[in-house]
A and B are shown apart, each in its own frame.
Chain A
Amino acid sequence: DVKVTQSSRYLVKRTGEKVFLECVQDMDHENMFWYRQDPGLGLRLIYFSYDVKMKEKGDIPEGYSVSREKKERFSLILESASTNQTSMYLCASSLGGVQPQHFGDGTRLSIL
C-alpha cells in the first residue's frame, strides 16, 4: 500500500512565524499535492508538483510556497503565518496523469 506521511498531526504556531509542513511518500509517485480543508468548503488545492523541482499553483496559493527537491518529499511553507491559515492541511500523491490520489492523515495547524 502507498504510504503518505505528514510530519506532524497537530501544530501550533504564532502569527508571523515561518512554518514548514513536510510530506513524504514511499511509492515513487510523480505527482504530489497540498490541500487545505475547511468545514463546508471541501478540499482546496494550494499547490501541486508533477516532477522534482516542478510546481504549479492551485486555487489558493496566496501566502504559501512549496519545495520539491526530491521525488518523495513535498514541503509546504507558510512564509509569514496568519490566523486565517488555521486549517487542516492534507498532502496527497499519485502516479502521473489523472489517477487516484493517496492521502496522508493531515496536519491540523493552529496559528495564534
Chain B
Amino acid sequence: AQSVTQPDIHITVSEGASLELRCNYSYGATPYLFWYVQSPGQGLQLLLKYFSGDTLVQGIKGFEAEFKRSQSSFNLRKPSVHWSDAAEYFCAVGALEYGNKLVFGAGTILRVKS
C-alpha cells in the first residue's frame, strides 16, 4: 500500500536560517507529489507540486522541493526562514493508478526562533 513518511514531527530553526523538511514515499507507481502548509486554525494551502519534468520545483513563499526518485524522497527547502513560516507542513502523494486520491504524511510542525 502507498504511504508517506515525514520523519520529523517537530523542527525548530532560527529566523534567517535555512530549512529542509523531509518526505519519503512508498509507491509502486509514478508519483504526483505535493507540499501543503497549514497555519493555525486554517485549512491547507498548496506550496508546490511535482508531476514530471525538472526535478527541482519552485513554489510560493520562496519554497522549493527536489524530487529524487532513487531515494523516494521529495524534500522541501527554504534558504532563509521568516517568523511567518511557523506552521505545520504536509507532504502528499498521488498516482493515476490509485485514482483521484492523495495520501498525506503526518505533518511536520515548524517553530521559528527569533
Chain A residues close to B by CB (< 8 Å): 4, 31, 33, 35, 40-43, 45, 48, 50, 56, 58, 90, 92, 94, 96-106
Within B95-114, which residues are at the interface with A (CB < 8 Å)? 95-96, 99-102, 104-107
Chain B residue nearest to A58 in the complex (CB): B101
B107 touching A48 by the CB < 8 A rule? no
Contact A100 B104 (CB under 8 A): no
**Cα–Cα, bound, A102→B96 (Å):** 18
Q: Is the CB of A42 within 8 A of B105?
A: yes
Q: Are A100 and B46 in contact (CB under 8 A)?
A: yes
User: Within B1-50, which residues are at the interface with A (CB < 8 Å)?
Assistant: 9, 32, 34, 36, 41-46, 49
For the complex, count residues of B whose C-beta is within 8 A of A.
23
Q: Say yes or no: is B67 at the interface (Cβ < 8 Å to chain A).
A: no
Check A41 against B106 for contact (C-beta < 8 Å): yes
Compute how far the CA of A102 lies from the CA of B49 in the bound complex, rounded to whole angstroms: 13
Nearest-Cβ distance from residue A40 to partner chain B, whole angstroms: 6
Q: Which residues of A contact B46 (CB under 8 A)?
A: 100-102
Whether B100 lies near A96 (C-beta < 8 A) is yes
Q: By the criterion CB–CB under 8 Å, are B107 and A42 in contact?
A: yes
* B74 interface hit (Cβ, 8 Å): no
Q: Tell me which residues across on chain B come within 8 A of A48, comparing CB atoms.
A: 100-101
Starting from the known contacts A40-B106, A92-B44, 5 additional A-B residue pairs (CB-CB under 8 Å) come to A40-B9, A42-B106, A42-B107, A97-B96, A101-B44
Chain B residue numbers with a CB within 8 Å of A35 are 104
A51 to B: closest C-beta gap in Å: 11
A98, B96: Cβ atoms closer than 8 Å: yes
Q: Which of B32, B42, B90, B100 makes the CB contact (< 8 A) with A50? A: B100
Instruction: Check if A43 sits within 8 Å of B100, measured CB to CB.
Output: no
Output the least CB separation between A63 and chain B (Å): 20
Q: Residue A100 contacts which of B9, B49, B96, B105 (CB distance < 8 angstroms)?
A: B49
Subset of 20 A-B contacts with CB under 8 Å: A35-B104, A40-B9, A40-B106, A42-B104, A42-B105, A42-B107, A48-B100, A50-B100, A90-B43, A94-B100, A98-B96, A98-B100, A100-B34, A100-B49, A101-B44, A101-B102, A103-B36, A104-B43, A106-B41, A106-B43
